[in-house]
Structure 1
Amino acid sequence: MLQQIGEGGMGVVYMAEQTEPIERRVALKIIKPGMDTMQVIARFEAERQALAMMDHPNIARALDAGVTGAGRPYFVMELVKGVPITEYCDEHQRTPRQRLELFIPVCQAIQHAHQKGIIHRDIKPSNVLVADYDNHSVPKVIDFGVAKAIDHRLTEKTMFTEFGQVLGTFEYMSPEQAKLNQWDVDTRTDVYSLGVLLYELLSGETPFDRQRLRSAAFDELLRIIREDEPPKPSTRASTSQSLPTIADNRKTEPAKLGAAIRGELDWIVMKALDKDRGRRYETANGLAADIERHLNDEPVVAGPPLAHYRLAKFVKRNKLQVVAAAAVAAALVMTLVGTSVGMAWALRERSRADTEAARATLSAQAEAKARQKAQENEQRAVKQKEIAERELARATEIKQLITQMLDSVDPVQAQGEDTTLLRGILDDASQRLAEGEIADELVAASLHDVVGRVYLNLGLYGEAEKHHGAAVAIGNRDLGSEHSVTLSYAHNLALAYEHQNRVKVAERLYEQTLKARTRVLGPEHPNTLQTMRLLAGTYRTLDRTDEAESIYKALIKMENRVLGPEHTQTLLSKYCLAGVYIDQGRISEAEILAQNTLALQLRVLSDKHPHTLHTMALLALIHEKQGNFEQASALFKRVSEKQEQVLGLDHPVTRHTYHGLNHTSFFLAREKTNAEVRNRSATEWVRELQHSEDNLSWGSPLKMACKTLASRPEVFRRVAEILPEESTLWIGRGQHHALLSEWEKAASDYARGFKSRSLGDRSIFEYAGSLVLVGDQQGYRRLCKQMVGQLGEPDDARTAFAMTRTCALSPDNNVPRQQVAKWADMSLNESKFAWVLHVKGLAQYRAGQYEEAFGSLKQSINTGSSGDVNALGAWGDLNALNWIVQAMCHHKLGNTDRAQECFATATTSIEMLNPPAGEAAAINACDWIEWHVLHREAKQLLGIDSDNSKKSELLDSS
């Protein structure tokens, strides 16, 4: 033996020199002591014969095997002078495509072993070495059969060494391996491990975080492998802290790496990693074949069998033809100019042919001498009619082709597929329509409507409005305002208005369209019912929930009769009615209706259809309202991931669901933190605070924990005696008192906490609000001035948000209004978009910009809760704040009645979050403080007597 070159949990590997029968250097693996039982040696001998049968260029050959004089089994293997495949690819900066090409022969090597009856069971980078032979990268799989020969169990002590290789085994282990005394494995176990290896090659990370596995207890580690679903490799790559390095190792820009993996490679990897081995690739060759299909731009087995997907693959495969095809596709829009002329000519010719045929018949009857000529004319007329009908059919077919092509960009049709090429054609068609290149007005109107509908479903509501508006204008002029086609255009235009929060404009247009459709089409026509549903939606947004409920119930009865109980539109109406029940606080009724609707949608549609995902998100909101935060968070996460795949991350619907997920996750974290710290001793608290680097960021676990600590006076007193100047401790208790509406105590605690705390901390807003609520207006002005002096001009959105919210809380803030407005614009980059819009609206109100404030506040409501003005739970506190500011805006504009309505809506929205006496509120301290400040201000402004307002008296506990 020359030198030791490796060590694992089962054996030690040496470089050795063989002298006979031939001289060569080999790898010698000797099994460690303790694993040399008679049973192992007997199995070892049987396995040795199988290893000798393998002959594959990508498998390190087993040259010999035996047992030492001390009874320890050994293997003699081909010496591979290579490095682990992941390390090799990173060092040589292999692109994702090159990594796939290198991975395919690894799969083929595993398949060869499977055909010989050998399961590797320990596939990982260190067992797949890559070496350069004649300037070619050649992967070699080593250690074949050793795991099967040894047949060690997870409970054996040898698995618990400190060596990275052994720990790495867990990271590549299949779910069926992660069971104590249940080694029911087959070749699909290796397929899973290959999937893990492919995941790491593409994303730079393993499916489960290494640190998480290392720190988990043994039982928890096995549970993670068996039950937890890893993120997609594209998601893992995009969110990795090491993204710049990972992307550089793949010669890819960081922003493009996730996109390069997303789609087919995600599908392939996740199919290989399926917990149910029955849904994995049957063989390693199956995995390799799917990778080859991806590289050859052919449809992959793991992908959805959509016609659009297969068409896209065909286009990508035939790139030379695509150059012409793309030109033709773009030219098709221009062809409609000639097509429309041809269509009109065809219709005229068919009409003229019919007339001439009739004349020819009359002429034949009246004049016998002209019979022959009439017959000739008739034959010519028939021929012209045939030509005209062919032209009409051709023009219609071309129009349908273009319509289908543009519709393919629609997320409902695309189902998460890459539509870049088609999106380019859509934008090109939009540009050509805007420039008036379509001569025939009616054809142009039809295309405006198609393009507008696609933009609408893409969430590009401004672009949609332009096209639908153009279609309506042409329809009104050329067809009439009550033509069925014009009414369809008007319906879509109203929908574009509604999505842009122009609810009153949408309401009027829906009402006009509904009346006209009822007259023209009838009260139970599907188009009439569709407008009826959307009109009810505007009533719901405007807080006219009783009217909305009445319409939805009548609508569902008609749709059940006309369309059927499982029709997409009927199910959509039921979803809308469940939303109304939530607005009205009828949570149990909403849950039953939503669950029944979802069950039908999953059967009739799919779990990726936007309507199905809407209902799932509604159920998540219901779970949150019921206090089931863990269930709500899991469902929000599932919905958001599917919406990201189908609609895209930037779609407004996806963003809204992520808002719900973030908010629910906060409540879940708070609930878990409370349970965790409730019984912590004073000594443990001191140790926690002394070693903490907490920065009091929004929702930080330590701050939430200190708020819980404040409810245990004796423990708090002992901790405070040891750490009297710990700012986190006092600010946490300030939040506790604030949520109990104990403003004097809260202000005192906040003041003590901020003695040594930067005024840029978000909790400064809570301190400022507590000063206002105790009547210390001078202290509030001084605090605002100190904050501005200490921080100066903010250089990030988060600081700008905190400064805007603090200084806009009260009109007497000692800060110029234009400066606050500037910070509000800067804070729009803040991630919690709905909350930033609210603060911007409040700042606009302080500046006297009441109409602008309405726009921001309404957008905040719709962004946060899709128009549920009474939405409680995730967005109830936000909506209450939005409506209270709107009440003050209406009052300033002289809309007294509307101001009173908004005030009542705000009070109703917050009422269910009001706690029983002596209990903390179910919302954040900052939001609870702002509510009381604005509620008191609004009551004074509107002249509302608290003695005559039961809800106001109940809520204004200060």
Structure 2
Amino acid sequence: MTREQWLARHCADPLLRAEIEKLLTADTAGGELLSSGDAANAALAIGDASVAATFSAGSRIGSFELIEVLGEGGSATVFRAFRQLEGVRQEVAIKLLARGLYTPEAQKQFRREREALTRLRHPGIARLIEGGVTDSGLAYIVLELVDGQPITHYVHEHEMGLRQRLELFLTVCHPVEAAHRALIVHRDLKPSNVLVTAEGDVKLLDFGIARLLDEDAGDAATGALRALTPAYAAPEQFAQTPISTATDVYALGVLLGELVTGKRAAPHHAYASSPSDDTSGETSTAAATHGARPRLRGDLDHIVLKATAADPEHRYPSAGALADDIKRHLARRPVLAHPSSRWYRTGKFITRYRAGVVTTAGFLLAVFVALGIAIWQAGVAREQAARANAVRDFLVSVFQSAGAGLPRDQRPTPEDLVRQASARLMKKGDLPETVRADLLLALAKVARSVGAYDQALVLLDHGDPIISRLYGPGDAPWWDARVLRAAVLEDEADDARVISLLQPAYAGLVARHDAIGIEGLRVLGDALLHSGQIDRGLSLLAQARRTAAQAQLVDAQLSASIDEATALLDAEHFRAGLARADATLALWQSSGAQANARVLDLYESIALGAEASGDMQRAERAYRTAITLGDRFFDKPNPAQAWNVGMYGSFLIAQGRFAEAEPYATRGLELRRSVFGPDDSRTIYALAGMGKLRYGQARYPEAVDWYTQGIDTCTRLAMKKLVCPRLLGLRSLAYGAAGQFDKAGVDIEAALEAQRAFDGDHNPNYAYVLEQLANLQLREHRYNEAIATADRVLTIYRAARGGMIQRELGTRMVRAQALFALQRNDEALTELLDIAPKYASMFPSGIARFDITALEARALAQAHRNDEAAVAARDALAIKSRPASADRGLVDELTRLASGR
């Protein structure tokens, strides 16, 4: 008697018999115990312990040390980790499977997945670095660490329009299509697995759960363990029927609907393939989102419906096919998703070739009016030519006044020419308004270019009424005047007026896709940054750069990219800022453009980032290049040169090269007072630089005086700039060094409060003021407090991952000094032995190197490592750049240790 016959005789209930047959089939099937379905989920829930609980920060997997948990799901846990390779720190993401691989079948499947990732190479997919199995049987994959945000957050924060969202979605389809060609299905596409970097590049994560779809995969194609997100999962993933490339197409369709409407459809698993055949009772993607916004209609509605059809056969066969239909929609061509009809194709033809269709339909009418049109066009051409000639003649007459025959010292400067041209224009009453408007705009641009900001605003004030009469928001001159005024105001650091002028016009700027719109985005981004809206400002600068690249406007792209690099560095995102600066430098060099003032800005940005990242030689080269270019370009005080000269002075001060720094710090202050005026924040930074110089020279009362000048200006103008709390912190150190701890305490508390009000207490700017507090606590012998403050500073810097190496080393030195003072010598020595060689290699002439090496010698002596102490003492005595405050007693102690006594 067969099993089937036995069951038929002893189990009359067909439903019960069906359940028993399923159990018997599962019992005889191969594979791991509890390897699929709800049993697998139960096994995961009650079986293995949490990976995050098993592996904590500091644990090692292979050559990598775990830092923190980035995310934890049902199938895996992802850690941030790092390793040192030839002295270079490499940060990665390590994905640990939540269940062990104890059987040959499971390990074979894992090897297959790892091999698939190794074969899969695409710039839009997070790169596999290596993989393996831990001693406890847990499989892991080491992947490229991607710093980005989910695509849905990115498009919202960047306020992308519909076309921009669709174009970004196309860049998601490309890597998915590459994986499909390699017979790999992602199976869990969702916003958190589709990240967009600060540069606007798409990176797909989590291909480690993919299954190969070749003949060796066997039943794996159905998925032994479901790794899915219900809102984005295709019906076949719930039914556990075979998956295919159409499974990813389904998830892409849901993601597309979410990007277009801003809302995700309610999760369901019985989507209809068209509006007319939805008989499941569920709401289709289009229906679920149609009321959210009118964007998902027409072709897009049909595209999403086709991508999310319940039957995989009715979907697009691949991500590439879906992308092709999106491209057809953007090009106004018929899409494959739309039911074909004569009227649909005719309508698309008319939409795409509207001008040609209208011309053909009105051919007879055009014959009769052609002559009139020709006459009108000729009139327009004559008018434009006359305007151009009038502008040319006027400017030539002005420049002729330069007089080649005049002595060189009597020839007018560009500023003189602008003033003369402006005066002549105001007196010339016979010019047509169109010509006058053109001339006013042209002269305002020249005035701005030579730093004559007041003159530029006067010219724009005269031009605005004329331009308003002649043009409207649909005309380029209207926008040109508005953006130019904002740019001049930004040059004058009037951020509030820039924002009030351009923020309401944001949508219009985005819609232009030309040099004027790009410049407007750039100027608005800069103003937002300077007013403390860091993320929004960076977003606009990146948007301006991408728009310029798409429009192939190299000059505009360079300008936006330079500002973006500078902004990233100012926000202390040093790695990202240097990467953007390097990319910009490469763009400039490949463009063949001549060096100009904007390139000078670029070198200044590179200098700042390199200094913060510890590459002092590169920083000094960049500073010197910037100053050399500035001296070549400008024969009068200029904003860029005023800034760079002062910054190089600060660089030399930090190196302890006070004699070299003095002329640069002094000249930088003079230039800034001349260019910006005494009340500008950039001038106040120069006052801070002079204070640092005197502090380094141990001339503390003079340092207090310099800092006080800047603080008084901040107070008088109620200025909300980063320099203001920093000045208070710096003055507190000068008071502390002079033994005036009561005044120092008042200043540091005020500095912390002001910085906290500016942008919170979990960012590098706040940590900078905390550094000053830690130094003050150390000087007051409040050693335990100094250690706690230093630890807080280091936590903020490391979380920012901005490459603030110099700051970190300085803070760790404060920590080591406090530990040594508390007689916790072993801890102090461990810290010193790590930071001393790093500081010596990065800052060979840095002023702190003497303090670090001297303390290292003393700590080694305390540990009775006398030979090493003697070497360190001799190294310290050989350092020429010593703090002016180094006392004779310390030098005598080092001399004794150096002799081996």
TM-score range, shorter chain: 0.3 to 0.5
Normalising by structure 1, we get a TM-score of 0.39
Normalising by structure 2, we get a TM-score of 0.41
